[in-house]
């Protein structure tokens, strides 16, 4: 069977207009700009406005159109849509099918939502790679679209300071025979022994949203920040090392490291363990905070569009999220 190499054909991103600064938060809850910057590196975050169409599918439409244009394709060239959304538009229909309609795609391509929390977009890359490699699909749109503001308890200083809304998208397709682009290696894992460190237990089949749930404030996420912090550092560093080794690349040969943007201290600790210089690490957590599965594709798109990432560069991307899901990808852009 003939196998194809997978190439990132185009990327796009969308950030909601509204900016919420640390100062804005400190006027509502007992926190300060300095505390948030010192513990997280976050200065501000974007928050979606439903009245402006900024929901997961709406943000995905804008990011996807940019990615499709950058790939020199039209929406009807897409033959599979995969969307990672920790909080989808609604349970049914899936966000990916709403996105198909919003993009004006009429070719009846299949649509699928996945939820692997902040690792969701990274989870989609090897899945799309396998399907492109074998020729099952030609142009796969993979999207991380996140509106965590909808389940962020804005009165809980332990969590609300951390998150922001955004969408990142990429079109993956076949590299032509004279091109070097390829996915070298990937790893996806889930350590369910750590699944209770980050949860949102109400709103699913087990616990419907009732007056009692609302009275107990159970409709929001809860997090054990220190446990997540430790697991994030060890897992992302180990995964990054492994995919680099499997790609047979030395650290010198890696041009850019794009980690999940959860907390600047996590990013720095992973960089130190993985031994990659800060000048090669792409960071935007200061401006956008943790945008869950949108964070890696948004950072990727930003660095491609501002010229830091160039064709032929070796990229290493890593993420972790609730579950505790995690993954890393090493590729030639
Ligand atoms: N402002 C001021 N003080 C605060 C705030 C705040 N926003 N939040 C907590 N504090 C207080 C605490 O109450 C505590 O006070 P105490 O000592 O009197 O009890 C003190 O600050 C220290 O709290 P810690 O939790 O020890 O602070 P830490 O240094 O661990 O930082 C943080 C907390 C930023 C949450 C950190 O643990 C972290 O980033 N963890 C990782 C979280 C993460 O990445 N989550 C995303 C997962 S990905 C996904 O799938 C969504």
Confirm whether 6-174 and 182-332 share one CATH topology.
yes
Burial class (CB in 10 A: 0-12, 13-18, 19+), 123: buried
* Active-site residue, selected from the candidate residues 55, 197, 260, 263: 260
- Structure confidence at residue 7 as a pLDDT band (50, 70, 90): very high
Strands (E), the chain: 6-14, 19-21, 44-46, 80-84, 111-114, 139-146, 166-174, 182-190, 198-199, 222-223, 256-259, 314-321, 325-332
* Active-site residue, selected from the candidate residues 55, 94, 263, 290: 290
Do the Cβ atoms of 36 and 42 come closer than 8 Å? yes
The answer to whether residue 136 scores a pLDDT higher than 90 is yes
The answer to whether residue 309 scores a pLDDT higher than 90 is yes
Do the Cβ atoms of 165 and 148 come closer than 8 Å? yes
- Structure confidence at residue 226 as a pLDDT band (50, 70, 90): very high
- CA proximity to 158, closest of 89, 222, 80: 222
The answer to whether residue 11 scores a pLDDT higher than 90 is yes
Please confirm, yes or no, whether 118 is among the known catalytic residues. yes
Residue 51 CA to ligand 1 centre (angstroms) = 31
Residue 227 CA to ligand 1 centre (angstroms) = 10
The answer to whether residue 151 scores a pLDDT higher than 90 is no
Superfamily of domain 6-174: Thiolase/Chalcone synthase (3.40.47.10)
* Tokens matching residue 192: 């369910």
For position 322, what pLDDT does the model report?
A: 95
Residue-by-residue DSSP string for 170-234: EEEEEPPTT---EEEEEEEEE-GGGGGGEE--TTSSSS---HHHHHTTTTS-EE-HHHHHHHHHH
Q: Is the peptide bond before 324 cis (omega within 30 degrees of 0)?
A: yes
The answer to whether residue 1 scores a pLDDT higher than 90 is no
Find the mean pLDDT for residues 195-214.
92
The Cα–Cα gap between 84 and 95 comes to: 9
CATH of 182-332, one of 3.30.70.260, 3.30.70.270, 3.40.47.10, 1.20.1630.10: 3.40.47.10
151 C-beta closer than 6 A to ligand 1: no
31 C-beta closer than 6 A to ligand 1: yes
The Cα–Cα gap between 66 and 80 comes to: 17
For position 134, what pLDDT does the model report?
A: 96
* Active-site residue, selected from the candidate residues 22, 109, 118, 152: 118
Q: Is the peptide bond before 41 cis (omega within 30 degrees of 0)?
A: no
- CA proximity to 188, closest of 247, 124, 115: 124
Q: What percent of the chain stands above pLDDT 90?
A: 96
For position 333, what pLDDT does the model report?
A: 98
Q: pLDDT tens-digit profile of 268-303?
A: 999 999 899 999 999 999 999 999 999 999 999 999
* Tokens matching residue 143: 């999207």
Nearest-5° Cα angle at 133, 190 to 276: 55
326 C-beta closer than 6 A to ligand 1: no
Please confirm, yes or no, whether 290 is among the known catalytic residues. yes
Q: Which of 26, 226, 264 to mutate to test the pocket of ligand 1 (most atoms within 8 A of CB)?
A: 226
Find the mean pLDDT for residues 132-151.
96
Q: Which residue has the tokens 């991103």?
A: 13
- CA proximity to 296, closest of 119, 162, 163, 142: 119
Domain boundaries, the chain: 6-174, 182-332
Please confirm, yes or no, whether 260 is among the known catalytic residues. yes
- Structure confidence at residue 317 as a pLDDT band (50, 70, 90): very high
The Cα–Cα gap between 65 and 68 comes to: 5
pTM: 0.96
Q: What is the largest CA-CA distance in the chain?
A: 62
């Amino acid at each position: 069977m003939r196998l194809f190499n997978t190439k990132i054909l185009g990327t796009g991103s969308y950030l909601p207009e509204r900016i919420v600064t640390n100062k804005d938060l400190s006027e509502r809850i007992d926190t300060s700009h300095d505390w948030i910057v010192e513990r997280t590196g976050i200065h501000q975050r974007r928050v979606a406005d439903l009245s402006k169409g900024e929901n997961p599918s709406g943000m995905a439409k804008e990011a996807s159109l940019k990615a499709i244009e950058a790939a020199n394709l039209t929406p009807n060239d897409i033959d599979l849509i995969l969307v990672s959304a920790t909080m989808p538009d609604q349970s049914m229909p899936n966000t990916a099918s709403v996105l198909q309609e919003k993009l004006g795609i009429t070719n009846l391509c299949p649509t699928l939502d996945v939820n692997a929390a902040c690792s969701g977009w990274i989870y989609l890359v090897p899945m799309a790679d396998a399907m492109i490699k074998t020729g099952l699909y030609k142009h796969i749109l993979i999207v991380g679209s996140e509106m965590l503001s909808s389940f962020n308890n804005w009165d809980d200083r332990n969590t609300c300071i951390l998150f922001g809304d955004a969408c990142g998208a990429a079109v993956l397709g076949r590299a032509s025979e004279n091109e070097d682009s390829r996915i070298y290696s990937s790893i996806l894992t889930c350590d369910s022994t750590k699944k209770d460190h980050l949860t949102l237990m109400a709103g699913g089949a087990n616990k419907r949203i009732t007056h009692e749930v609302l009275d107990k404030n159970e409709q929001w996420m809860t997090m054990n920040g220190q446990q997540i912090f430790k697991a994030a550092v060890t897992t992302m560093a180990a995964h990054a090392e492994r995919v680099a080794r499997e790609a047979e690349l030395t650290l010198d040969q890696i041009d850019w490291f794009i980690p999940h943007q959860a907390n600047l201290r996590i990013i720095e600790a992973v960089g130190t363990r993985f031994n990659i210089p800060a000048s090669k690490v792409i960071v935007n957590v200061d401006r956008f905070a943790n945008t869950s599965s949108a964070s890696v594709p948004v950072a990727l798109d930003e660095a491609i569009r501002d010229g830091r990432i160039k064709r032929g560069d070796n990229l290493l991307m890593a993420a972790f999220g609730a579950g505790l899901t995690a993954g890393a990808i090493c590729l030639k852009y």
